[in-house]
Chain A
Amino acid sequence: MEAPPVTMMPVTGGTINMMEYLLQGSVLDHSLESLIHRLRGLCDNMEPETFLDHEMVFLLKGQQASPFVLRARRSMDRGGAPWHLRYLGQPEMGDKNRHALVRNCVDIATSENLTDFLMEMGFRMDHEFVAKGHLFRKGIMKIMVYKIFRILVPGNTDSTEALSLSYLVELSVVAPAGQDMVSDDMRNFAEQLKPLVHLEKIDPKRLM
């Protein structure tokens, strides 16, 4: 007997709400080596992974006051890798016990015509930058140490200039909603990186 058609199966539908837990800090260029060494010791044993990514941020201005933001990222040093589209929600504030910044997160891999698709949908590129740095993992935690380069001529990723003399350090975990122990693990890991880097939750709205 053939299997019943899929549409007849009970499907609850919807997707798991994934949240991104984030801690950020920075390290000056001359201390980068010591930080990399420490991370290599603390994190999972793997070949040091570097990345060179080009990220474009698209805005869709609707009738509401706040525009809809989507981030498209492509790898510049790995040919053939899919583009990465990401939505990040507003950070959930209010809980002082939570040690990390928590926001809703949706990650999708796409094909290369992502920018054309977004432009057709009505999105407009707001800003772009190039991120170059190192990637480490520890269990489900991902640690990225990267330098942000400003793109001087839009669309031309060769003419770039570093934004500052520091590397941005991000410790992030993408986990289903409600797992607050994750932020405790993140804080314990962040303790081990002091006093080289101070990883803390930084509210982006405060910096506007």
Chain B
Amino acid sequence: MQREEKQLEASLDALLSQVADLKNSLGSFIYKLENEYDRLTWPSVLDSFALLSGQLNTLNKVLKHEKTPLFRNQVIIPLVLSPDRDEDLMRQTEGRVPVFSHEVVPDHLRTKPDPEVEEQEKQLTTDAARIGADAAQKQIQGLNKMCSNLLEKISKEERESESGGLRPNKQTFNPADTNALVAAVAFGKGLSNWRPSGSSGPGQPGQPGAGTILAGASGLQQVQMAGAPSQQQPLLSGVQMAQAGQTGKMPSGIKTNIKSASMHPYQR
């Protein structure tokens, strides 16, 4: 019993805060519409609507939450009605309900809808029952299919217009450049000291990005070829020194030294 009461209180608090938020955003939206209607833009109105819809969603979620007890099972009964002003009530309702009297109670505590609304609802339910289960199912499926078709069309249109709009004027990155730059940083592809694995050495720097081709690749290649004979000699000799058999033992010795140095000095 205690637990249920606590749950009820907690869920009521949550509902109260959600409804207060909703009221605030509705109030600000109305203010915006009334006072700034000449400066209002459609995106701003959309923002307000989105905010309201989000808040309604969270309200729904709170109501559907498993920890929320069924409010349907609770009954509110007025215990005392008096025509005198009630200060407490005024404070709690922010001045909207000053008197808990015979006029106020039927409006605020009603659970049945208006008679006209009730009539309409009854009519709708009899109509629905009259159609029969199969026809109803077919109609539901038809509606679902139309909705999904419409959604597909809209998303396709959006995608096409976005990519069409971007390509001619707003390309902000070039994937080929990305690959070239990453390769350069990772293992020096395209940088002058890169030893060509095949014969594509001077051709390689010309590849990354259309810019280098445009910005005088011929000049670039001339520098490369002029520098190549003087560059490659010390480079090749360096490579050979590392690869030659006589220094083959040295690198491994150096490597083990590095390993022991990286071990913790206190680990002895």
Contacts and interface: CB of A to CB of B under 8 A. Distances in A.
Given A11-B264, A122-B254, A166 B209 contact: yes
Interface string A56-71: 0101111100001000
Nearest to A131: B185
B154 interface: no
A129 interface: yes
Contact of B177 (A28, A57, A61, A129): A28
B180 interface: yes
Query: Which range holds the interface residue count of chain A?
Result: 35 or more
Q: Which of B174, B191, B263, B264 has the most CB of A within 10 A?
A: B191
B252 to A, nearest CB: 6
B178 A202 contact: yes
Contacts of B242: 59-61, 122, 124
A124 B240 CA distance: 11
Contacts, number: 152
Nearest to A60: B251
Main secondary structure on B side of the interface with A: helix
B238 A27 contact: no
Contacts of A28: 171-174, 177
Contact of A126 (B193, B231, B255): B193
Interface in B197-233: 205, 208-212, 220, 223, 227, 231
A13 B173 contact: no
Interface stretch (A92-100, A148-156, A180-188): A148-156
A208 B255 CA distance: 26
A165 B211 contact: yes
B102 to A, nearest CB: 57
A24 B178 contact: yes
Interface string B247-260: 11011101100100
Interface residues of B, number: 52
A25 B252 contact: no
Contacts of B252: 62-63
Contacts of B220: 161
Contacts of A27: 172-173
A202 B254 contact: no
A174 interface: no
Contacts of B255: 60, 62, 68
Interface stretch (A41-49, A135-143, A193-201): A193-201
Contact of B266 (A11, A35, A128, A165): A11
Contacts of A168: 178, 181-182, 185
A24 B254 CA distance: 34
B178 A63 contact: no
B187 interface: yes
B173 A26 contact: yes
A154 B231 contact: yes
B177 A164 contact: yes
B191 A127 contact: yes
Contact of A154 (B166, B173, B192, B247): B192
A207 B223 contact: no
A125 B193 contact: yes
Contacts of A197: 172-173
A166 B182 contact: no
Contacts of B135: none
Given A14-B264, A34-B172, A152-B227, A126 B188 contact: yes
Interface of B: 166, 171-175, 177-194, 205, 208-212, 220, 223, 227, 231, 238-239, 241-243, 247-248, 250-252, 254-255, 258, 263-264, 266-268
